[in-house]
Structure 1
Amino acid sequence: MKNIFTILLPLFLLTVSSCEEYTDITPKGALVIDQASQFHEMVSLPGRGYPINNFQYLSDDQWMKESNVIGKTPNIDIINFTFNENVDRVSLMTGSSFYNQSYTYINRWNTIISLVDDSKGDADTKRLAKAEAKIYRAYDHFLLVNTYAKGYDPQTAASDGGICIMNKFDLESQPSKSTVAQVYDFIQKDIEEALPYLQEKPLDVYHPSLAFAYAFKAKVHLFKREIASAKAAAEKSLSYNNQIFDLVAYSAQGGPSVVAVPAANNVEVLSYMYMIGYNEMNFVSNYVISPELRNLFGANDARFNLFFNTTNTNNLDIGANTAYWATQYTRFFYPTVGMKTTEVYLMLAECYARDNKLKEAIDILNTLRAKRILAGGTVELTVPATRKETMELVVNERRRELLLGFNRFFDLKRLNTETEYAKTITRVFPIVNKTVPQQTYTLQPNSRLYIVPFPLTALTKNPKLTLNTDEKVPF
C-alpha cells in the first residue's frame, strides 16, 4: 500500500465508516493527509460537544420546571429528577449522544496517534501531534468512566466495572470492558507520556496547552485521592496561567449588558469544549438551577447577580426560588465542560484541606472570592476548626464556581465514596403547584442511579460490554 492516508473530515469531525477508506485510491472530495503538520492540525476540533442530558438532573444543582414533570410520561429526565430506581432506565437509553460523540473523538485521537509516525515531516511535529492527541484521548476516557462507572474508590476500583478502553484505531474492535482502576491507569499513562512534548502556547486555543494538561493531571490525581501529586500538578498549571477574571470589577463596569466578554477574552479558560456548541449559553433555560444552589449564592455574589434570571415565567415557576443562566455567549463566555483556572485554584484548596492545612485552603478561597463577592457580601471566610467544615466550604465554592456541565455530578460521585463527605440528596417537589401532592424524593450516596447505563446501541454492538449496575438488558 502506498504511504497515503485518506481521511474524510466533514465539518472538521472525523467520521470513518469502514476500514476500506484507507486505500490506494483517493475518493473524490477526500482530503489526503500525509504531512505531520496536517495530523497536528487535526487535533484542533472546534465545537466539541459533550451533552449532559443523560444525567443532569441527578445533580442537586439542577431543577426542572413543574409543567415538564407533572402529568408527563416519565422519560430519563423525570426518572433522574424524581430519583426513581424502579423504572427500567436501560430500555429508555436507546442511544446517547454523549457516549457516541466521546468515542468518535477518541477515534479521531487514535487515528492521529496511530498514523502520524508514518507521515512526512519532522520528528518534533510528530511527537507534538501525538502528545496532544493523547491528552485529549485521556480526557475523553476520564469523562466516560466518571459517567458510566462508579466514582473512583481506592478500596474497590480494581474490581469495579469501568468502560471500554480504546487505545488504537480499529473500526472492527469489540474490546472487553476494563475496570475503573485500569481506565485510570490508562488515563495517567497517556498524560505522563504527553506532558514532555506539549507547549505552553499551542498552535491555537483548540490545541491543549501545558496549563490545561497539568490542570487535568491534577484533576485525575484528586479524583484518585493522590493529594500530594494533585497539589503539585495544580501548582504547575497555575505557573502557566493563574489569571482570575475579576467579576467585581466587571460588575462595576456594567456587566454583560455593557461590556461583552467573548470566548477569546475570558482569561480563565484553559480548554474550549461545550455541552452543545459555541452558542449553548443561549439555551440554558433548559438548565435551571435548584433552590438549594440559588440559596447557596446568597444576595451579593456576582456569579449569580450578573448572569441569572429569576423572573421569566416561561422558563421558571415563580415562587420556587429557582433561576437560570440568562446571558448570551456573545456577551459573556462561560466554560462548562472544559477546564478553567478557578477550578485549579479550587483543587489546590481541596488538597490543602485534605492535608489539614486549613488556613492555606481558606486563603485560596478568599483569593477567589475577592473577585466574586460584591459589596455587602462576606468576602473573607474564617478558618473553620475542622477539616470536614473546611471541605464543606471548598465544595460549596465549587458549586458556585463550576456551574452546569459535569462538575457537580462528578463531585457527588467521588465524594460519595467517602463516608465523611457523602451526601444524601432530598428534593421536595412540586413547590408551587398545589393540585398534586407534594413529595420528598431521596437519592442515597450509593444509589445505582449515579451510574448511567450504557446505551442500548453500544450494548447490542459489543457483547463484551456489560452494565455496571444490577439492571437488566432487554435482550
Structure 2
Amino acid sequence: MKKKLSVTIKIMAVLMVACLSSCNDFLEIVPKGEKIPTTLADFDALLRDEYGNQRTDITQATLLLNDKFESTSNLNYYKLYSANYFWQEDADRIAFNNSDEGTYYNSYMAISTSNLIIEHAAEATEATEADKKQLIAQAKFLRATNYFVLANYYADTYEEGNAESKLSVPLITSADIGAPYTQVSIKEIYAFILKDIEEAIPDLRAAGATILHANLGAAYALSARVHLQMGQYDQALAAANQALAQNDKLFDWTAFYNQYKTQIEQPNVYTNAPSPMGYDYVENYNFRHGVSYFAGNETNIRTDRATRFEQGDAKFASRWKVRTVGADTYCKSIIRGFFNYGGMTTTEVYLIKAECLARKGDITGAMSTLNTVRKKRILSSYYADLTATTTQEAVKLIQRTKGNELILGITPFADMRRLNKDPDYAKTLSKTENGSNLSLSPTSHMWTMPFPQGAIKNPGNGTLNQNVNK
C-alpha cells in the first residue's frame, strides 16, 4: 500500500497507453520521471492508488441525510451544501453544482484506470497468466463499485417497472482519449455492474495482495449489495452467504469501549483513541476511503442524528461525544486513524442477509442474524434480543441498525432511496433548524443528485442529460 504511483504518474500512464494506437511517433518521448506501464507491477500500482481510485466521496448524500454535522461557515459559503442540508426544494442545485465535482470525477478516474487495466494488463510482462487474470478481475470489481456509486447518486433508484425507460449515467468501457460513450438506462447500468462482478469472481482469490485488492469475499459481498438494491432477494441472500463463507468475523465494539472506557467517559476530554476501522479491521473484505482519506478524525455528526442509535451502542459511544463550541453543539469524533467507508464489510453482509430472510418470510432467522451483529455492539447492561412478528417490523429494525452501522457511506443513502419507493417503508425526514420545522419527502427530487456543470458543459464524445430539473 505504501508503494504506489502518484496520481500524476497514473494519469500520464492512462493517457499514454490510451494513445498507443495513434501516437506511435511519440512513444519514445516519455516525460522525465514518468513511465508507460508494461509490467504487471506497473498496472498493479495504478489499481493501488488509494487516494485516487480507492476513494468514495459522497459528501452531498451525507448532507441530504443529515447524517453529518456541517459548519455554519461551509453552509454559508457552499450553496450546494446549504441546499441539501436544509432540504431547499426550490434551490437550483444544477446551478450550484459548479465546484463539488469530486464524486463524479473521482469515480470516472477510477473507472478509467479500471478500463486501462482491463484492456492492457493481459499483455503485461513479468507475470503469470493467473496473476494477470486476477488483476483484471480486481479492476472489474473496482469498475463495478464505482458504477454502483454513480448510479445511486446521479440517477433514480432501481425499480423493475421503469428501469428500462429511465436514464442512468454514462457507461464508459475504454480508456482511450475521446472514447465514445452512451448514457445508458438504469437497467443497463445494473446489468453491466453485475456482469463485471460475475466475470471477476472466477479469477479472484480468497485474499488479495493488500486490502485494497478485491478478494473473492468482496465480490460476493458487492453482488449481494447490488441484488438487494434491485429487490432480488434470492440472489442477494445466496451472494451474502457466499461472502460470509469467506469471512464472517465481527469486531467486538463492546470490548473496545471497555478498553477505552475511562478516556471515553471523562467529561470535556476528547482525546483520540485509535480507530479500529482501518486497513486491518477484521470485518473488511476490501478497503476504500470516504470523504476523509488521510489519517485523522471522523466526520462530526448532528446531535439529533445521534438519538437514532440504540441505547448502549458501544460503537457509537466509542466514536462520538457531545461537544459545544460557541453556538454549535454536535457529536465530536473521538477516535483517530483510517475509516473504511467505501469498502465491503461483514456487518453490511450480515444485515443484507437479515433483510433477505425477512423478505422471504423467515422472521426468526432474520432477527437471529440481526442480533448476531448487535451482540458485538450493545453493552451487556443494555442488551436484549430484538424480536419481530412481521416482515415489515423486522425490516425496520434491521434498517435502523444498518443505517447506524454504515453511517457516512453510500449504503444508507442507497437504502433510503430504495425503501422510499415502498409505501410500507417510505419515510419523511424532519428536523427543527433555527426555529423552523423542515422536512424532506420520500418522493422529493432531491434524492437524485444533479450532474456537475463541468460534466454537462464538457460531455466529451457523447451526450449527457440531467436526470433532475434542479
TM-score calculated relative to the size of structure 2: 0.88
Tell me by how many angstroms 1:43 deviates. Answer: 2.3
Q: Is the 8 A contact 1:274 1:280 kept in 2?
A: no
**Aligned residue number for residue 375 of structure 2:** 370
1:328 to 332, 336, 347: 336
Are residue 464 (structure 1) and residue 463 (structure 2) matched? Answer: yes
Q: Structure 2: state its 5+ residue gaps.
A: 264-271
More deviation in 26-35 or 399-408? 26-35
User: Residue 430 of structure 2 aligns to a residue in which SS?
Assistant: strand
CA distance in 2, matches of 1:122, 1:31: 22
What residue identity is the alignment partner of 1:25? Answer: E
User: Residues 409 and 280 of structure 1: is their aligned pair in 2 closer, same or farther, counting only changes over 3 Å?
Assistant: farther
2:302 aligns to what?
A: 289
The match for 2:28 among 25, 28, 41 is 25
Mapping for residues 25-424 of structure 1, pairs under 5 Å: 25-27=28-30, 28-47=32-51, 48-64=54-70, 72=76, 75-95=79-99, 96-120=101-125, 121-254=127-260, 261=276, 263-279=278-294, 281-282=296-297, 284-285=299-300, 288-291=301-304, 293-313=305-325, 317-318=328-329, 322-329=330-337, 333-382=338-387, 384-424=388-428
Matches within 5 A, 1:443-454: 443-454=440-451
- Cα distance, 1:290–1:142 mapped onto 2, change above 3 Å: farther
Letter in 1 for 2:58: I
Do the aligned residues in 1 keep the contact of 2:104 with 2:150 (CA within 8 Å)? yes
Question: What SS does structure 1 have at the residue aligned with 2:386?
Answer: coil
In 2: Cα distance, 1:12 partner to 1:234 partner:
37
The answer as to whether partners of 1:90 and 1:455 remain within 8 angstroms in 2 is yes
1:116: how far off? Answer: 1.6
Contact 1:57/1:81 (CA < 8 Å) preserved in 2?
yes
**What is the rounded CA distance, in whole Å, between the counterparts of 1:84 and 1:265 in structure 2?**
40
C-alpha deviations, 1:154-203, integer Å up to 9, x for none? 11111111000111222213422101110000001111111000011111
Quote the offset at 1:26 in angstroms.
4.5
CA distance in 2, matches of 1:385, 1:74: 46
Deviation at 1:428, TM superposition (A): 1.6
> Which residue identity lines up with residue 328 of structure 2 in the other structure?
D
Aligned to 2:266: none
Q: Which deviations, in whole Å up to 9, do the C-alpha atoms of 1:139-165 show, x marking residues without a partner? A: 111110100000111111111110001
Q: Which amino acid in 1 is paired with 2:423? A: T
% identical equivalent positions: 28
Structure 2 counterpart of 1:88, which letter? D
Report which stretch shifted further, 194-203 or 80-89: 80-89
Give per-residue Cα distances to partners, 1:72-129, cap 9 Å, x unaligned.
4671111112211212111111140111111001000100111122333432222112
Distance, in Å, in 1 between the alignment partners of 2:97 and 2:352 is 33
| 1:385 partner amino acid | T
- 1:29, distance to aligned residue in structure 2 (A): 2.0
Structure 2 counterpart of 1:433? none
Change (3 A) 1:281 1:388: farther
SS of residue in 2 equivalent to 1:310:
strand
Q: Structure 1 pair 358/324, CA: closer, same or farther in 2 (3 Å)? A: farther
Partner of 1:422: helix, strand, or coil?
A: coil
Distance 2:123 2:254 in 1: 52
Q: Greater shift after overlay, 454-463 or 183-192?
A: 454-463
Deviation at 1:243, TM superposition (A): 0.5
Give the count of matched residue pairs: 444
| 1:65–1:203 Cα change, 3 Å | closer
Task: Tell me the C-alpha RMSD between the 2 structures.
Answer: 2.3
CA distance in 2, matches of 1:67, 1:137: 35
- Take 1:375 and 1:403, find their aligned partners in 2: how far apart are those partners? 23
Cα gap change, 1:154 to 1:90, in 2 (>3 Å) = same
Measure the CA separation in 1 of the matches of 2:120 and 2:343.
Answer: 27
Relative to structure 1, the CA distance from residue 466 to residue 119 in structure 2 (aligned partners, 3 Å threshold; closer, same or farther) is: same
Q: Specify every segment of 5 or more residues in structure 1 that has no aligned partner in the other structure, as ranges.
A: 1-7, 431-437
Q: Distance in 2 between matches of 1:468 and 1:259?
A: 42
- Matching residue's letter, 1:365: L
Matched-pair contact (CA < 8 Å) for 2:229–2:418 = yes
Structure 1 window deviating more from structure 2 (109-118 vs 144-153): it is: 109-118
Alpha-carbon distance in 1 for matches of 2:146, 2:313: 33
In 2, the alpha carbon distance for the partners of 1:277 and 1:67 equals 19
Aligned counterparts of 1:303 and 1:59: Cα–Cα separation in 2: 20
SS in 2 for 1:178: strand
- TM-score normalised to structure 1 length: 0.87
Give per-residue Cα distances to partners, 1:224-270, cap 9 Å, x unaligned.
11101100111111111110001112222226867764724421122
Letter paired with 1:424: T
8 Å Cα contact 1:134/1:194 also seen in 2: yes
Deviation larger for 53-62 or 401-410: 53-62
In the TM superposition, residue 52 of structure 1 has moved relative to its aligned partner by: 2.0
In the TM superposition, residue 46 of structure 1 has moved relative to its aligned partner by: 2.1
Query: Match for 1:451: what amino acid?
Result: T
Contact 1:110 1:167 in 2 (8 A): yes
| 3-state DSSP of counterpart to 2:36 | strand
Q: CA deviation digits over 1:284-331, x for unaligned, max 9?
A: 23xx2351x3112243110121110202426x734xxx42332111xx
Take 1:150 and 1:204, find their aligned partners in 2: how far apart are those partners?
34
